[in-house]
Amino acid sequence: MPRVKLTVAYDGTEFHGWQRQEPPDAPALRTVQGVLQDVVATFVRDRVVLMGASRTDSGVHAIGQVAAFTAEHFRVPVERIPIALNARLPRDVQVLDASFVAHNFNPIGDAKSKCYRYVIEHLGPPHNPAPLFDRDFVFNTPHELSLERMRQAASQLVGTHDFEAFAQISHGRENTVRTIYACNVRMLAERRFAIEVSGSGFLYNMVRILAGTLLDVGRGKIDANSIGAIIASKDRRQAGTTLPPHGLCLRWIHYGVPKEDGIEDVKEDVIA
């Protein structure tokens, strides 16, 4: 049976994350996987299992999530599948692309690199009002930040390390070694900047903790030269705070040769 790969974007604000959640004694929670899988099943007129590449948390956004499903019948050519699905999907999730892939394609296991972006706006001094219309996509802080110190610290995260200090204590993984290919801090607009990190994979809450640590470096709470010592400590208490989910966006997932420069030409929008 044909297997289809989807590229998916969503505003995670009203979702309980990507992964389908069906509590035994309560109604199913609204998740991206649940909503999209139900629409795909209606479209192909059969039960399907939709596998996603990244289990983003509640409130996290995506413009490059990858999912795949297998089905026997399609009523339209594969290039028109996004149009057919989007006509049935709610406004906060969209299918951007569809293509046929090998029958054994695994969105999780076959992924070679991923990129996340965390967007931060600092509000003062002097005082600027907090973001209004894109408030669900930007974390705002009252602290004035040094991008120079943040960039210095970010460069020390690149490489293969044991990132146990940058994962939630209950991360559930036996192996906490990951490879960071690039970690960049760059301006998007006046007072607004992005922390963009690409790597082989990430632990639970790892990107939000990395972003929180760089934020603490930027405000002078953590020394920019202490990243190596924090990594070596394997102690979560040595790293920075876990920033909230709404500033985080899954940018892209690459298959084949890992993409190592951390930069991708994608459509810029309010969740970029």
Beta strands in the chain (DSSP E): 3-10, 51-52, 61-70, 93-101, 111-122, 139-141, 159-162, 177-189, 192-199, 248-255
Q: Are strands 248-255 and 61-70 parallel, antiparallel or unpaired?
A: parallel
Cα–Cα distance for residue pair 126/144, rounded to 1 Å: 10
Catalytic residues: 57
Helical (H) or strand (E) element with 85: helix 81-86
CB-CB contact of 117 with 199 (8 Å)? no
Cα–Cα distance for residue pair 61/63, rounded to 1 Å: 7
**Opening angle at CA 41, ends 39 and 44, nearest 5:** 110
DSSP state of 131: P
